Amino acid sequence: MTASAPSAQITILGCGSSGGVPRVGIGWGNCDSANPRNRRRRCSILVERTSDEGTTRVLVDTSPDLREQLLSADVQHLDGVLITHAHADHIHGIDDVRPLILKMRHRINIHMDAPTAEAVLLRFDYIFQTPPGSQYPPLLDFQPIEDGRACVIDGAGGPVAGIPFRLDHGDIDALGFRFGDIAYTPDVVGIPDVSLPYLENLDVWIIDALQYRPHPSHFSLSQALDWIARMKPRRAILTNLNTDLDFERLKSEIPAGVEPAWDGMTLTFDM
């Protein structure tokens, strides 16, 4: 009997800006509260590769909404974590991996570049080593990231390889990741020339498009559309959307081949 070919899927666990939608103290803004696709958790994705032997699951970023995100996606195990950068909306849900680690009874690797690791290890040192007097075991093992060198995470479904590349995120750098022919760049205001090859010949580009107005650390909608026109992915998905951007209105304003993300959206691809 011939084994079936491995299949890969990305689930958008959250596509909202740093405050999510609705935003505390502000509400829905321009977004129609009756449309469930306007309710946005903070940015994170789940990458899965499945074969006859099982599924490999890789989490990209640990948002403050991670508990609800993992429950919504029915995640029963993780094989590894990748982090784009150290801003709170991308790492402050890190403790919510604890129930999965305790269930699996072994630590997993978290892959970060040096500046991100410095911040995460300072804020969440107890995640990586048992504090004095504590009985709680460490949850994660740090693995360093090098630009352009694939982070390979093994699991029952086969290896998942994410290639990191450098992005300008205003006051700091962030990472994007390429999985097969899908690129994920949730927080970006500029793309250095050295990173452009990772955005060529894409089937899908999941790209930051925060709001209509320019922003010092994120692409505006028009900037995102300009980059999409330049790099010519076959399909583009807009993420990191704030309360400016109503789902249906945005959908009506963007060209063919470009779509707004929504929490729970899935994309299949070859790996």
Domain edges within the chain:
8-261
CA–CA gap between residue 112 and residue 90 (Å, rounded):
12
H or E segment at 49?
strand 44-51
Residue showing tokens 């040192």: 125
Whether residue 241 contacts residue 260, with contact meaning beta carbons closer than 8 Å, is answered with: yes
Q: Could you tell me what percent of the chain has a pLDDT over 70?
A: 98
For the segment 85-112, the average pLDDT, to the nearest whole number, is: 98
* Radius of gyration of the chain measured on its C-alpha atoms: 18
Q: Could you tell me what percent of the chain has a pLDDT over 90?
A: 95
What are residue 165's DSSP bridge partners?
176
pLDDT at residue 9 tops 80: yes
Please give the structure tokens belonging to residue 168.
């300008």
pLDDT of residue 271: 86
Quick: pLDDT tens for 23-39.
Answer: 999 999 999 999 999 99
CA distances from 21 to 27, 28, 216, 263 (A): 7, 6, 20, 11
Please give the structure tokens belonging to residue 192.
């250095």
Q: What is the mean pLDDT of the chain?
A: 97
pLDDT at residue 5 tops 60: no
CA–CA gap between residue 25 and residue 10 (Å, rounded):
32
Residue showing tokens 């590769």: 49
Beta-strand relationship, 7-14 and 204-208: unpaired
pLDDT band (50, 70, 90) for residue 218: very high
pLDDT of residue 57: 99
What are residue 56's DSSP bridge partners?
49
pLDDT band (50, 70, 90) for residue 66: very high
Quick: pLDDT tens for 133-146.
Answer: 998 899 999 999 99
CATH level 2 (architecture), domain 8-261:
4-Layer Sandwich (3.60)
Give the dihedral sign, CA 216/84/61/164: positive
Please give the structure tokens belonging to residue 117.
């690791």
CA–CA gap between residue 160 and residue 143 (Å, rounded):
15
